[in-house]
Structure 1
Amino acid sequence: MAKIALGTRREATQPDCIQALVVEFITTFLFVFAGVASAMTADKLAGGSLVGLFAVAIAHALVVAVMISAGHISGGHLNPAVTLGLLAGGHITVFRSILYWIDQLLASAAACFLLQYLTGGLSTPVHTLASGVGYLQGVIWEVVLTFSLLFTVYATIVEPKKGANGLGPILTGFVVGANILAGGAFSGASMNPARSFGPALVSWDWTDHWVYWVGPLIGGGLAGFIYENFFIIRSHVPIPTEEEGY
């Protein structure tokens, strides 16, 4: 079973941690900026139609793929649910996870405030449940969609030997786009508390907002725990000796 490492406050002063936080901020900022901008454009030009949803899905798929690749120094999480999923699998410490979460939320807020300024105060779409979709349904939607996202991250990026080498970011972008097409009309298909936080803060509209924390964090944490403990085999490899010619 994977062990969760707590970490220490000293991590915050280590060069690799500082560098990772800077990269995580930049990539999360650019992801939210492109994602929210696409939603604003879709509302403005397509009135929230299927064409608009498709445009939002494509924009998210593309920017996720690129930002994960660009953010390789930090791991390109872009998402508190991804960070939690990797924490559950023992790939990041608790302390660094908290720093990442703060970083991601600040980046999301900064991107949305900048968009509000650049668009002349254009309304920033927030994630809310569609008419007829209850809280439990919304949470389950987000759990399932985020689970599929983290399962893909583990299969194609965390354990590349079991996935498609080098294609992890692209495939992760594909699943984000597919999930938006599948669940966007019902729960909004956030899969990402940071992605929901920025627009809610700027618009000061917290309707259903808790759903976009509970669902993604459960889905992400569950996927990380299950994949790490049921699909990744950690075998002991003896240290080579001089007698073996090493």
Structure 2
Amino acid sequence: MAVESLQLPIYDRTPQPIQWTKSWLDKLNIKVSTWDQFCQFVGEVIGTAMLVFLGCTGCVQNDHFVNSPLQSSLNVGLVVMMIVHCFGCVCGAHLNPAITLAVYIYDMISLTMAGVYFLGQLLGAFAGYALMKALVPADAISLGGAAHGVCVPTPHPDITTMQGFWIEFIATAMLIFTTCSAADSRNMPFQDSLPIRFGLTVACLSLAVGQLSGAMLNPVKAVAAAVWNSDYQDHWIYWAAPMLSALVSATFYKVVFKRDYVERELNEKP
């Protein structure tokens, strides 16, 4: 008997929809790959809506709802952890155009799908904030009569606009480094803790710079809050800083730090 016949067969495990869904797709002549792309879009919509709804609801405050920077920061970190756990396997749970840009630079997504992700994130952010406004008392959203509503980002009055820009730029770079390192092949054995790591990263950044610049780090979350409150003070910061930071930091990490496993013969010189 040949040695090869004693070896166990190797199976290729490919995720497939359940049988009912597969039959339905076959009847409509829809490819599974097309359905998967649609599911990625829906996952980004729902995930971003959850981020904005739960993240911003955790920041409401008035005479009856007490809040603090610590509570808000821990809340948004726990929300991110939950969403990454729920939708990370569906769409990667980007929830943020800056992360999508970084993933595109990292050659993990096509330009077309990056646009689809951005559209899903934008729709989800507006839907999440609308849901919060429909369910939460209006004076709690206005933070008890504060100058700006909940989740409307503006730099603190004691810092300049450019200081606010650079704070958001640097904080976003830390988030992008976390994203790039998670996609590094050397980190593949540690994917089980990914939701916790992302959640703690966001909580850390919110604790560090939340009172200075708002620690928004996310253009669609910023624009949803700004539009629903008609408040655009220094709004350009929250688009320019995260997107430029993603472009710079993802490119830097890819060129300098990224490593890929390469198969070679055991007797081949490295």
Pairwise TM-score range, normalised by the shorter structure: 0.7 to 0.9
SS in 2 for 1:186: helix
Q: How many residues align?
A: 223
Alignment of 1:90 with 2:116, yes or no, is no
SS in 1 for 2:211: coil
Quickly say closer, same or farther: Cα 1:43–1:100, change in 2 above 3 A: farther
Counting only pairs closer than 5 Å after superposition, residues 50-65 of structure 1 correspond to structure 2 as 52-65=68-81
Farther-moved stretch of structure 1 (144-153 vs 35-44): 35-44
Tell me what 1:159 maps to. 184
The CA distance in 2 between the partners of 1:76 and 1:43, in whole Å, is: 35
CA deviation profile, 1:45-80 (whole Å, cap 9, x unmatched): 34xxxx611111011110101111211211100111
Which segments of 5 or more consecutive residues in structure 1 lack a partner in the other structure?
Answer: 1-12, 240-246
Alignment of 1:116 with 2:141, yes or no, is no
When the two structures are superposed, what TM-score results if normalisation uses the length of structure 2?
0.77
The CA distance in 2 between the partners of 1:70 and 1:223, in whole Å, is: 27
Q: Which amino acid aligns with 1:158?
A: A
Q: Is the 1:160–1:168 contact (alpha carbons within 8 Å) kept by the matching residues of 2? A: no
Q: Is the 2:217–2:238 contact (alpha carbons within 8 Å) kept by the matching residues of 1? A: yes
SS in 1 for 2:65: helix
* RMSD between aligned residues: 2.2
The CA distance in 2 between the partners of 1:20 and 1:34, in whole Å, is: 21
- The higher radius of gyration belongs to 2
The CA distance in 2 between the partners of 1:173 and 1:210, in whole Å, is: 26
Counting only pairs closer than 5 Å after superposition, residues 25-64 of structure 1 correspond to structure 2 as 25-41=45-61, 45-46=65-66, 52-64=68-80
Percent identity between matched residues is 27
Q: Is the 2:185–2:261 contact (alpha carbons within 8 Å) kept by the matching residues of 1? A: no
The CA distance in 1 between the partners of 2:220 and 2:62, in whole Å, is: 20
Q: Is the 1:130–1:186 contact (alpha carbons within 8 Å) kept by the matching residues of 2? A: yes
Pairwise CA distance, 1:140: 0.7
Tell me what 1:20 maps to. 40
Q: Is the 1:142–1:216 contact (alpha carbons within 8 Å) kept by the matching residues of 2? A: yes
SS in 2 for 1:14: helix
Q: Which amino acid aligns with 1:31?
A: L
CA deviation profile, 1:67-94 (whole Å, cap 9, x unmatched): 1121121110011111011111111111
Q: 1:69 aligns with which of 85, 99, 102?
A: 85
Which segments of 5 or more consecutive residues in structure 2 lack a partner in the other structure?
Answer: 1-32, 143-148, 266-270
Q: Which amino acid aligns with 2:37?
A: C
CA deviation profile, 1:116-148 (whole Å, cap 9, x unmatched): 111243424211111022221111111110110
Tell me what 1:7 maps to. none
Pairwise CA distance, 1:39: 1.3
Alignment of 1:183 with 2:199, yes or no, is no
The CA distance in 2 between the partners of 1:193 and 1:147, in whole Å, is: 14
Tell me what 1:80 maps to. 97
Quickly say closer, same or farther: Cα 1:106–1:89, change in 2 above 3 A: same
SS in 2 for 1:45: coil
Q: Is the 2:153–2:214 contact (alpha carbons within 8 Å) kept by the matching residues of 1? A: yes
The CA distance in 1 between the partners of 2:210 and 2:221, in whole Å, is: 14
When the two structures are superposed, what TM-score results if normalisation uses the length of structure 1?
0.84
Q: Which amino acid aligns with 1:68?
A: V
Tell me what 1:244 maps to. none
Q: Which amino acid aligns with 1:69?
A: H
